[in-house]
Amino acid sequence: MTTPLISPITNPMKIVIVENPRPLTIEHYNDVANAPLSASLNSGYALAVARRAGWDTAHLDFSSGNWDATVIAARIMAESANIVLFHWVYSWGHEELVRNVLDLLRQGSSTPLGAFGLFPTLSCHRLLQFATQLDFILAGEFEETLAELLPLFGERRTIAPLPGVARRDEALEPRPLVTDLARLPVPNDVGANCGYTTLNIAASRGCYGDCSFCFIHRYYGCSRRRARDLASLERELEIRLARRDIKSLYFIDPSFIGQGEKECKRVEQIGRMAKHFGLPFGFETRVDSINAGLIATLADYGATSIFLGIESGCDSVLNRIGKRTNTDQIRSGVQIIRESGIKLNLGFIMFEPDSTLAELEENYTFLDELGLLDEHELTANLLYHNQIVLHGSSAWDRFSQDGRLLLDERLPFEAGYRFRDDRVGLVCSAMGRLTAHYFSGMDAIRQNRTVAEHHGGSHINLLLKEVFQALCRAAHSTIPQQIEMVEREYVTLVQSALAV
């Protein structure tokens, strides 16, 4: 008979939320897109829901560092929980480690093992097949599902078949979205979040956009944005600011500024609220929600950073990815933010999979003319980003239908793809390798506590710009080795420019 490694049911019930290990690989060095920023509050909300249901809670964070499966499993078992719920985030081919942990947990106990979050939602059925030890997944927006599941578990000691609960070989009944976000509990502050003096907070959920590369509308099951009642936002701020020393706020809403006059007024009220608390703030928004008056007002209230997902400098690409914006709006948005003095952060997909060489060159000219290629870290980011294809995304479905998906059995949840123009793919790969040298060189510089500018920051910037242009020119050439030769030459130049 197997000795139970997790104690029998105790009173009160207990749930443990586990952050899976997310090792960083050089291929994904600068890819932060494995979860939208809004996911940073998922575990906090899950813990708060469980507390409200009268459950004891624990949060175990294995997201950083090198962890061994046996150590992780032992730590989880030591919590003697009644339900173990993984907040499972894309982990770049390291899913096997989580599966090993699940194996160890399953060997010792029949405690239900579940997962929730973006990745388990998008890859729900594949993940249940991949990790057969998982008993269930909370698919999509999970708070109301969890709030209903916990008391039922208390009564029946089993995971009830509820809307939003996915179980192996059963059809999933979707859970309707939360109608009133003010009814959500105040999220716990846990994990890496607690190490920052910036408080992540949500004033809305979802987005009215449906960009083809984005996960937001897939996660919520629709292109809809729900704004939150401001009294509940203020109450949450009061409670969470009392927990630790906070110096600034970051609104993690996928689209902080909604559409229309009423939404602009609402955002102004939020700015005023932040000012009342004496906290500068940042947020993410779409370029078509930017207007000079509003941004100036928000700057007065203390806005210090805005992230704009501009994605492309070509109208043809913007149309293709369903961004519903144009390059004139981007120019104007960038200009307005610059003039306001607010720091501008950008999202850009240089190597959209259907791009032509002419579109790459158009992107470059667009960025350069806007003065966005003047600083080497930003230049490296803007000139190298390609589209990441993760299982469950619309891109995965499309490339699969087109026969362009490049699968690797060691990576069940991510894939490469064939570019429509192979030459664009060659430039993309060369820029990817070259920027990997750049990022490792910069890491070494940081570790040696020297300042990049001592190593010729403007020179490095120039090299990054030059190599991009040279690779595009080489791609037009009829000499097949031309791209390789350019890459080799610039790898040497970048390495020597960054030599510590």
Residue 286 touches ligand SF4, criterion: CB under 6 A: yes
- Residue 388 and residue 75: Cα distance in Å, rounded? 33
Minimum CB separation of residue 388 from ligand SF4 in Å reads 13
Choices 66-74, 210-218, 270-278, 292-300 (CB under 6 A): range interacting with ligand SF4: 210-218
Residue 376: both structure tokens together: 């080497």
Is 470 one of the binding residues for ligand SF4 (CB under 6 A)? Answer: no
Beta carbon nearer to ligand SF4, 38 or 363: 38
Q: How far is CA 399 from its chain centroid?
A: 21
Q: Is 216 in the site for ligand SF4 (CB under 6 A)?
A: yes
* Residue 159 within binding range of ligand SF4, rule CB under 6 A: no
Q: Which helix (H) or strand (E) holds 61?
A: strand 56-61
58 CA to centre of own chain: 24
Site for ligand SF4 in 236-275 (CB under 6 A): 254-255
CB of 252 to ligand SF4, least distance (A): 11
- Determine if 385 is a binding residue for ligand SF4 (CB under 6 A): no
Q: Which stretch binds ligand SF4 (CB under 6 A): 179-187, 212-220, 239-247, 427-435?
A: 212-220
Residue 406: both structure tokens together: 């490049």
Residue 211 in the binding site for ligand SF4 (CB under 6 A): yes
- Nearest approach, Cβ of 323 to ligand SF4 (angstroms)? 6
Residue with Cβ nearer ligand SF4 (73 or 321): 321
The closest alpha carbon to 311, from 341, 353, 270, belongs to 353
Nearest-angstrom CA–CA distance, 300 and 53: 41
- Least gap, CB of 428 to ligand SF4 (angstroms): 20
H runs (alpha helix) in 221-291: 230-241, 261-276
Strands across the sheet with 405-406, in order?
A: 389-390, 414-417, 405-406
Cα distances (angstroms) measured from residue 463 to each of 27, 376, 377, 474: 21, 9, 12, 16
The single residue among 149, 214, 346, 370 that binds ligand SF4, judged by CB under 6 A, is 214
Task: Build a one-symbol-per-residue string for 334-373: x at contacts with ligand SF4 by CB under 6 A, - elsewhere.
Answer: ----------------------------------------
Diameter of the chain measured on Cα atoms: 74
Report, in Å, the least distance between residue 204 CB and ligand SF4. 11
Task: Kindly state the smallest distance separating residue 331's Cβ from ligand SF4, in Å.
Answer: 18
Q: Which is nearer to ligand SF4, 101 or 287 (CB)?
A: 287
Q: In terms of C-beta density within 10 A (0-12 exposed, 13-18 middle, 19 or more buried), how is residue 262 classed? A: exposed
Of 26-34, 208-216, 422-430, 462-470, which part binds ligand SF4 (CB under 6 A)? 208-216
Cα–Cα–Cα angle for 313, 405, 90, nearest 5°? 80
Output the smallest distance, CB 324 to ligand SF4, in A.
8
Q: Which of 207, 273, 426, 470 binds ligand SF4 (CB under 6 A)?
A: 207
Site for ligand SF4 contains 87 (CB under 6 A): no
Residues 297-336 vs ligand SF4: string with x where CB under 6 A?
------------x---------------------------
Contacts 24+ apart (CB under 8 A), 424-429: 424/351, 424/355, 424/356, 424/357, 424/360, 424/475, 426/471, 426/475, 426/483, 427/351, 427/357, 427/360, 427/468, 427/471, 427/472, 427/475, 427/483, 428/350, 428/351, 428/386
Smallest distance, ligand SF4 to C-beta of residue 459, A:
34
- The structure tokens 């420019």 sit at 497
Q: Which amino acid is at 301?
A: Y
Q: For 274-299, b where at least 16 C-beta lie within 10 A, e where not — what string?
A: bbeeebbbbbbbbbbbbeeebbbbbb
SS3 307: strand
With respect to ligand SF4, which residue has the nearer C-beta, 14 or 391? 391
* 3 state DSSP class of 282: strand
Which C-beta is closer to ligand SF4: that of 21 or that of 254?
254
Closest CB 312 distance from ligand SF4, rounded Å: 12
Q: Does residue 210 interact with ligand SF4 by CB under 6 A?
A: yes
200 contacts 41 by C-beta, under 8 angstroms:
yes
Count of residues in contact with ligand SF4, rule CB under 6 A: 11
Min CB(88)–ligand SF4 separation in Å = 21
Q: Contact positions toward ligand SF4, by CB under 6 A?
A: 207, 209-211, 214, 216-217, 254-255, 286, 309
